[in-house]
Chain A
Amino acid sequence: MILTEHLTKQYGGLVAVNDLSLNIPQGQFFAFLGPNGAGKTTTIKLLAGLLKPTSGRALVGGYDIHKDPVEARKILSYIPDMPFLYDKLQPMEFMVFVGQLYDMERTEVARASDELFEVFGLDEIRRQTIENLSHGTRQRLVIAAALLHQPRVIIIDEPMVGLDPRSARLVKNVLKQRSRDGVTVFLSTHVLPIAEELADQVGILHRGKLVAVGTIDELREVSGEKGELEDAFLALTRGASATVEMP
């Protein structure tokens, strides 16, 4: 569902993403890890079509995100770490607006919004203006809006920032459930326990290069660390340069 082939992004002399090749099948929950400045956000922006690769290509649902962006974005939802919302709109108005942008029928928008509002506990604030919502509520609203058009691929950058434990649990459950239902989730995070808990596969990026990809157990095995994912992560990002592909 997400395919990158030799994806490279250079900033002058700096190679932010270096020859990244990934194949993430439908329904997989993929956690993308890496230290600060490893190139995670650049990769995500390349996958969302916000940045143009220096070389290589990225396909979402079979569509090249740079050659056929409109078709790719129809099946994609991108949730950045600092999402945008219209402060003067009400949550329900925002949902209707987003639904129309994705060519959804009004009745369908209303039905899906009701469902998502209930799931995310947003029912009580549907008629308040967004500017009055707390950070956590805004974050839940953004995620609800991103799920409105039933995307087949979700790309999400640091989703748990600012969420209380209940909201964080809720978001994790929803994302995992979507993944079980066949949606591909590409999640970038610094919080290793989240990856440990949710991910089917984990990719570790270090200095723009994919240094390891596989299940948690496979990462533990290849890193030689048998304990927490944190130990494996630290071992794998200790100056590695070659990709370790799992069988």
Chain B
Amino acid sequence: MSGLTFFRLQAEVNARIMRRNILALREKSYLMVAVILLFVVGYWIAGYELFYMGFHRLAELPALQVIVLDRMLYLFFAFLFLMLMFSNMIIGYSTLFKSQETQWMLTLPVRSLDVFQWKLLETTLLASWAFLFLSAPLMAAYGNARHVSAGFYVKVFLLFVPFTIIPAALGSMAILAVARYLHRHVFKWALFGVSTVGIACAFAFLKPMQAEDLEPAQMSAALQQLLHNSRVAIEPLLPSYWVASSMIDWAGGLTGRGMFYFLVLLSNALMSMLVCVAVSRRLYYEGWSRNHGQGEFQLGVPLLDKPIKLPRMALVERIVNAWPRLHGATRALVLKDIRVFWRDTSQWSQFVIFFGLLGLYVLNLRSVAYDWNNEYWASFVSFLNLGATSMTLATLTTRFVFPQFSLEGKRLWMIGMVPYGLKRVLLEKFWLSSISSAAITVPLMLTSSWMLRIPGWLTLLFASTIAVMSFALCGIAVGIGALFPNFSSGSTANRRDDNPARIVSGFGGTFCFLLSLVYLVLVIGSEVLPMYVSFAANGFNDRGQPWGLVFSWIFVSLFSLVAATIPMSLALKKVELLEI
């Protein structure tokens, strides 16, 4: 069978599956469809408004608007390129080497090269669509700020096609090399290492602006510094430079130059595909075979050839074992959850990125100590800090706590049959995640408050608020996780329930995140409001009496109790009646 026929058949069957998935929406709850639509439309509108407001503010500086706008575009595409490559590598590894469908295809009378090409196309689409979706409001706002015609957006769409191909080809070649020459366990460590190095580089090179840079007299110099620091994005050999230049030139009416950069991009995209296919001819089948052979990896480097043994979590185990008045079954569940998480290295890269971003955030806090003598500004920054930390917490609970119940999927028959039942399992997950979350967020809040020189009593208030929020958000995540679990459909081929990232991307995960956001807005709003009223009454010079905040804290605690109790109670009722 020719490669083209294979592509046509695959395209037909995938179109049929997609159509069936869309039709299946009719059978899903209207609430789910409405939530998804609301999220999509809400994101586009909010994103567009936010970017447009930013561009509008820039317009107040006519001399700088174009320079800053364009530089922002170069930077955006440079980061987008890196993210696309990273995304292609992660998705490509599972699509090209781990998927059962790929194994099945490799037993068909088609060339492995054809299988690779189809899977590459699939990877590119899977890895790129979300970025395009996310960047759409930015593109729309940019076009509006530059007063372009409708034809500009068609050209931008055409630009995105070759732009997504280059990182896909480069990412796939990297994966091919890794699969061919590195053992899969080493690959996980390599990914972990790359993430760590990436974060370290970000620490080293992304220096925050200092408070004094924001003084009007220093603005010009600060801007110069900003442009200087971001000059790597205008390196003419980067694909991100070609795509941004083409957009800028088309927006500025320089059609010829815009076309030139488009053709540079297109020719490089085609060339990268050719090179990628040539590389796959040599490495794909070899890599696939090697990847599916246990323990085959031998580099000849003793350190790397040794099997990786994770250190035992002896200290944590000792603490759990020594914990007084802990039921034996709960103790066993806690230890099991800690061990499973510790040994699942595939989650670590995301954990590193997560904490790396937190680190960057703390590093950047120095720059917001702008006018600390102004109490209104100080309070404003303090709440901003609470908002950022709690937002981080909501992401953490949705990503890592929500999937916990679904992950038990195939094992429910066992833990559901123990004499203490699933209620204990659910409660154990709630307490373990709440205590772990609080152990992360409370020190983070104390550190950031200290760096921001927030008064002691306010620090205490924020730390206790974030502790209460940890319990409430974990209650929401565990509860919604049990109410909307994402188990396997029963198919041996379907392994959705083994992948936490996929579990989160379903309806339950989205709902959990939205509910957490609503909770955050209500909690922070109820603490900000009395503060604002107090300031307003004193002409924004004096904070006034703290009683309003104290009362709002009591309200927040009670509200959090309710927010955690409702989903947990519903979930506990559900698991009691759950048919395994």
State the A residues within 8 Å of B (CB): 9-12, 14, 16, 42, 45, 48-52, 69-71, 73-74, 76, 78, 80, 82-89, 93, 97, 100-103, 129-131, 135, 138
The 10 lowest CB-CB distance pairs between A and B, nearest first, are A84-B104, A52-B289, A73-B109, A88-B17, A74-B109, A84-B100, A78-B107, A11-B296, A11-B295, A88-B20
1/0 per residue B1-41: CB within 8 Å of A?
10001100100010011001100100000000000000000
CA distance A42 to B289 in the complex (A): 11
Contact segment of B81-89, B484-492, B542-550: B484-492
A71: shortest Cβ distance to chain B, in Å? 8
CA distance A97 to B6 in the complex (A): 10
The answer to whether residues A51 and B491 also contact, given A69-B112, A84-B103, A101-B108 and a CB cut-off of 8 A, is no
Within 8 A of A (CB), among B85-106: 100-101, 103-104, 106
* Residues of the B chain whose Cβ atoms lie less than 8 Å from the Cβ of A86: 13, 17, 101
Determine whether the beta carbon of A51 is less than 8 Å from that of B293: yes
The answer, among A11, A12, A52, A135, for a CB contact under 8 Å with B490, is A135
* Residues of the B chain whose Cβ atoms lie less than 8 Å from the Cβ of A76: 107
Determine whether the beta carbon of B104 is less than 8 Å from that of A83: yes
CA distance A178 to B112 in the complex (A): 29
CA distance A1 to B447 in the complex (A): 72
Determine whether the beta carbon of A101 is less than 8 Å from that of B493: no
Determine whether the beta carbon of B294 is less than 8 Å from that of A11: yes
14 new A-B contacts, CB < 8 A, other than A78-B107, A89-B17, A103-B1, are A12-B296, A12-B298, A45-B292, A49-B107, A52-B285, A52-B289, A82-B492, A83-B493, A84-B100, A88-B17, A97-B9, A100-B9, A101-B110, A131-B489
Of all chain A residues, the one with the shortest Cβ separation from B8 is A100
Determine whether the beta carbon of B295 is less than 8 Å from that of A14: yes
CA distance A135 to B111 in the complex (A): 30
Instruction: Flag whether B286 is at the interface (Cβ < 8 A).
Output: yes
* Residues of the A chain whose Cβ atoms lie less than 8 Å from the Cβ of B17: 86, 88-89
CA distance A100 to B13 in the complex (A): 11
* Residues of the A chain whose Cβ atoms lie less than 8 Å from the Cβ of B108: 73, 101-102
14 of the cross-chain contacts (CB-CB < 8 Å) are A11-B294, A50-B107, A71-B109, A83-B493, A84-B104, A85-B491, A86-B17, A89-B16, A97-B13, A100-B5, A100-B9, A101-B110, A103-B1, A135-B490
CA distance A82 to B294 in the complex (A): 18
Instruction: Flag whether B255 is at the interface (Cβ < 8 A).
Output: no
Determine whether the beta carbon of B293 is less than 8 Å from that of A11: yes
Of all chain A residues, the one with the shortest Cβ separation from B99 is A84
CA distance A97 to B305 in the complex (A): 43
The answer, among A10, A69, A73, A138, for a CB contact under 8 Å with B491, is A138
Of all chain B residues, the one with the shortest Cβ separation from A94 is B13
B10: shortest Cβ distance to chain A, in Å? 9
A73: shortest Cβ distance to chain B, in Å? 4
A140: shortest Cβ distance to chain B, in Å? 14
State the B residues within 8 Å of A (CB): 1, 5-6, 9, 13, 16-17, 20-21, 24, 100-101, 103-104, 106-112, 285-286, 288-290, 292-298, 305, 489-494
Of all chain B residues, the one with the shortest Cβ separation from A50 is B106
A3: shortest Cβ distance to chain B, in Å? 19
CA distance A5 to B297 in the complex (A): 25
Determine whether the beta carbon of B21 is less than 8 Å from that of A88: yes
Determine whether the beta carbon of B16 is less than 8 Å from that of A93: yes
Determine whether the beta carbon of A101 is less than 8 Å from that of B296: no
| Total A-B pairs, Cβ < 8 A | 100
CA distance A85 to B103 in the complex (A): 12
B297: shortest Cβ distance to chain A, in Å? 7
Q: In the complex, which of the residues B1, B108, B111, B292 has the most CB atoms of chain A within 10 Å of its own CB atom?
A: B108
B282: shortest Cβ distance to chain A, in Å? 13
Determine whether the beta carbon of B293 is less than 8 Å from that of A70: no
Determine whether the beta carbon of B103 is less than 8 Å from that of A87: no
B116: shortest Cβ distance to chain A, in Å? 13
CA distance A139 to B9 in the complex (A): 23
Determine whether the beta carbon of B494 is less than 8 Å from that of A87: yes
The answer to whether residues A131 and B295 also contact, given A51-B289, A84-B100, A89-B13 and a CB cut-off of 8 A, is no
CA distance A14 to B298 in the complex (A): 12
CA distance A203 to B107 in the complex (A): 24
Determine whether the beta carbon of B107 is less than 8 Å from that of A73: yes
* Residues of the B chain whose Cβ atoms lie less than 8 Å from the Cβ of A131: 489-491, 494
Determine whether the beta carbon of A48 is less than 8 Å from that of B107: yes
The answer, among B16, B292, B305, for a CB contact under 8 Å with A50, is B292
B117: shortest Cβ distance to chain A, in Å? 15
Of all chain A residues, the one with the shortest Cβ separation from B290 is A52
Of all chain A residues, the one with the shortest Cβ separation from B106 is A50
CA distance A130 to B493 in the complex (A): 11
CA distance A93 to B491 in the complex (A): 18
* Residues of the B chain whose Cβ atoms lie less than 8 Å from the Cβ of A103: 1, 109
CA distance A220 to B296 in the complex (A): 36
A195: shortest Cβ distance to chain B, in Å? 24
CA distance A82 to B104 in the complex (A): 10
Determine whether the beta carbon of B295 is less than 8 Å from that of A12: yes
Determine whether the beta carbon of A82 is less than 8 Å from that of B493: yes
CA distance A206 to B286 in the complex (A): 27
Determine whether the beta carbon of B109 is less than 8 Å from that of A70: yes
Q: In the complex, which of the residues A9, A11, A42, A74 has the most CB atoms of chain B within 10 Å of its own CB atom?
A: A11
Q: In the complex, which of the residues A12, A82, A102 has the most CB atoms of chain B within 10 Å of its own CB atom?
A: A12
* Residues of the A chain whose Cβ atoms lie less than 8 Å from the Cβ of B6: 101
A92: shortest Cβ distance to chain B, in Å? 12
CA distance A93 to B14 in the complex (A): 12
B167: shortest Cβ distance to chain A, in Å? 29
The answer, among A11, A42, A48, A87, for a CB contact under 8 Å with B489, is A87
The answer to whether residues A129 and B20 also contact, given A74-B109, A84-B493 and a CB cut-off of 8 A, is yes
Determine whether the beta carbon of B492 is less than 8 Å from that of A83: yes
Of all chain A residues, the one with the shortest Cβ separation from B2 is A103
* Residues of the A chain whose Cβ atoms lie less than 8 Å from the Cβ of B107: 48-50, 73, 76, 78
* Residues of the A chain whose Cβ atoms lie less than 8 Å from the Cβ of B290: 52
A106: shortest Cβ distance to chain B, in Å? 12
Of all chain A residues, the one with the shortest Cβ separation from B24 is A88
* Residues of the A chain whose Cβ atoms lie less than 8 Å from the Cβ of B24: 88
Determine whether the beta carbon of A85 is less than 8 Å from that of B13: no
* Residues of the A chain whose Cβ atoms lie less than 8 Å from the Cβ of B104: 83-84
CA distance A129 to B490 in the complex (A): 13
* Residues of the A chain whose Cβ atoms lie less than 8 Å from the Cβ of B295: 11-12, 14
CA distance A47 to B205 in the complex (A): 53
* Residues of the B chain whose Cβ atoms lie less than 8 Å from the Cβ of A52: 285-286, 289-290
A151: shortest Cβ distance to chain B, in Å? 11
Of all chain B residues, the one with the shortest Cβ separation from A80 is B103
* Residues of the A chain whose Cβ atoms lie less than 8 Å from the Cβ of B492: 82-83, 135, 138
Determine whether the beta carbon of A101 is less than 8 Å from that of B101: no
CA distance A74 to B6 in the complex (A): 14
Determine whether the beta carbon of A85 is less than 8 Å from that of B493: yes
CA distance A42 to B292 in the complex (A): 10
Of all chain B residues, the one with the shortest Cβ separation from A10 is B296
Determine whether the beta carbon of B103 is less than 8 Å from that of A101: no
* Residues of the A chain whose Cβ atoms lie less than 8 Å from the Cβ of B297: 12
CA distance A200 to B110 in the complex (A): 32
Determine whether the beta carbon of A87 is less than 8 Å from that of B493: yes
CA distance A45 to B104 in the complex (A): 11
Of all chain A residues, the one with the shortest Cβ separation from B114 is A70
